[in-house]
Amino acid sequence: MQTGFDFFIAIIAICIILFLGWKARESWQGFKFGISRKRGARGERDAVKLLRAEGYEILSTQVPFEGTIHVDSDPLEFSTRVDFLVEKDGIKLLAEVKTGASASPANRLTRRQLREYAELSYSKKVLLVDATAGKVMEIDFSISKEI
């Protein structure tokens, strides 16, 4: 009878350890997300200073865009938000703020995001603001190769 009781206690202990591990992972993920949000908010504040120093006027923040793609001829609507709409020398551009490794135009996900913004705004150029490095980059999608 002792063996059955020991087995029951072992199962309970394993369940408790798994539950505590799951909760610890959940807390760690929340902590990392909080740090990321703070870094992003700081990056956006720094980006305002950078853009103004480069001569851009901030016209709007968190600019919404609606889009539609067709999946097997069925429309799929989506929405997105761009960090800033700016203007310099009478030219309006969208500006996206990134920090860390995602601030590189070599980053595939960043490039795709910027391309989507350019398409939705019917523009060939967008700005990528690297808040970490303190740099504003003009990304031009007008030069492309044919298939």
Which has more confidence, 48 or 41? Answer: 48
Domain for residue 7, yes or no?
no
Domain for residue 1, yes or no?
no
Domain with residue 77: its CATH number is 3.90.320.10
Residues 12-22, mean pLDDT to the nearest whole number: 87
pLDDT of residue 83: 94
**Does the structure show a pLDDT above 90 at 20?**
no
Domain for residue 2, yes or no?
no
Distance CA 114, CA 99 (A): 15
Beta bridge partners of 93: 86
Domain for residue 146, yes or no?
no
pLDDT of residue 90: 94
Contacting residues for 68 by C-beta, under 8 A, at least 6 apart: 75, 76, 77, 78
Which has more confidence, 20 or 84? Answer: 84
Look up residue 92 and give its two tokens. 């309006």
Look up residue 100 and give its two tokens. 């860390």
Q: Read off the DSSP letter of residue 35.
A: H
Do the Cβ atoms of 105 and 139 come closer than 8 Å?
yes
13 by Cβ neighbours in 10 Å (0-12 / 13-18 / 19+) ranks as: exposed
pLDDT of residue 144: 64
For 80-128, the pLDDT digits (tens) are 999 999 999 999 999 999 988 899 999 999 999 999 999 999 888 999 9
Domain for residue 25, yes or no?
no
Domain for residue 8, yes or no?
no
Contacting residues for 107 by C-beta, under 8 A, at least 6 apart: 98, 101
Number of domains in the chain: 1
pLDDT of residue 107: 95
Distance CA 93, CA 75 (A): 28
Mean pLDDT of all residues in the chain?
Answer: 87
Q: Which range of residues forms the domain containing residue 64? A: 35-140
Domain for residue 98, yes or no?
yes
Look up residue 3 and give its two tokens. 């063996």
59 φ, ψ (degrees, to nearest 5): -90, -35
Q: Which of 71, 77, 88, 82 is nearest to 116 (CA)?
A: 82
Domain for residue 6, yes or no?
no
